[in-house]
Amino acid sequence: MARRPGGRRRLRLKLWQEALALAVVVAAVLWGIHASGWLNGNVTQTQDPSAVAAALTAVRTGRCPAEPPKDQATDVYGTGDVLEPLTANRLLLCGYAYWASNGTRTVQRTSRVITDQATINGFRSALNALPTPPGGTYECPNDTGSAALEIFTDGGHEVELLQAVTGCQSVTNGVREGWVGTSQVGGELIRLLPPSFCTDAWRDSCSWLSQGSRTPQP
């Protein structure tokens, strides 16, 4: 008995629909994992000697890279347990404020070297106290991609962190991620950088700097 061509076409259509549905489910799952942390999955860690040497040179000279590296360099152990395991005595902050205008993406850069031990210790402790990002999916409004590169050193070793300052704010060393959220860490970072960085990154949302608020909302 011959099969009707129409039945074969219906079978192919059904298989195609099932494959499409599976692809949608897989995409949703992958997006859920990505959205559970702004930096999760986008930033990795490296122990490459050349990357470590570049980070040490940057923090010693106070010269920031033109763009934050995707691979956060370190030559110390313990970054899977805490964000910054090094007892640092010098910190380089590199701010990158991104904006799109007329289809062109621009960046405003700023930096500051911090050597005050109490300031470094306080910021380091606040970073290490952050919880990991919550699970699930959620929207990240006002996310321009603006971020700060943080290079801690004790003079011989270093740890790099990348902290998002807009959208769903989080910070990572490439292995461990901390959820900044509405904690004071975001505000402390902005205070440590030159005032121009707040204006560049948040535009008209910097009045809190002069009002004494410690938990800004860009």
Q: Give me the tens of pLDDT residue by residue for the chain, a chain 218 residues long.
A: 555 555 555 555 555 555 444 443 333 333 333 333 445 557 899 999 999 999 999 999 999 999 999 899 999 999 999 999 999 999 999 999 987 766 677 888 999 999 999 999 999 999 999 999 888 777 777 788 899 999 999 999 999 999 999 888 899 999 999 999 878 999 999 999 998 898 888 876 787 776 655 555 55
Q: Where does the chain show beta strands of DSSP type E?
A: 44-46, 71-73, 90-101, 104-114, 147-153, 158-164, 170-172, 177-179
- In angstroms, the CA 46 to CA 162 distance is 13
Distance CA 38, CA 26 (A): 19
pLDDT reported for residue 45: 95
pLDDT for residue 84: 98
- State the residue for tokens 């313990």: 78
CA distance 179 to 170: 5
How are beta strands 104-114 and 90-101 bridged, if at all? antiparallel
Are the C-beta atoms of residues 102 and 130 closer than 8 Å to each other? no
Write down the pLDDT at residue 43.
85
- The reported pLDDT for the residue numbered 92 is 98
- pLDDT at residue 162, as a whole number: 96
Q: Are 176 and 80 in contact (CB under 8 A)?
A: yes
State residue 36's pLDDT score: 37
- The pLDDT score that the predictor gives to residue 181 is 84
Distance CA(86)–CA(12), nearest Å, equals 59
Backbone φ/ψ region at 197: left (φ over 0), alpha (ψ -120 to 50), beta: alpha
Q: What is the phi/psi pair of residue 166, to 5°?
A: -135, 165
Instruction: State which H helix or E strand residue 121 sits in.
Output: helix 117-128
Alpha-carbon span 174 to 127, nearest angstrom: 14
Residues 6+ apart with CB under 8 A from 124: 84, 88, 152
pLDDT of residue 5: 53
SS3 label, residue 183: coil
Place of tokens 């106070």: 62
Q: What is the pLDDT of residue 24?
A: 35
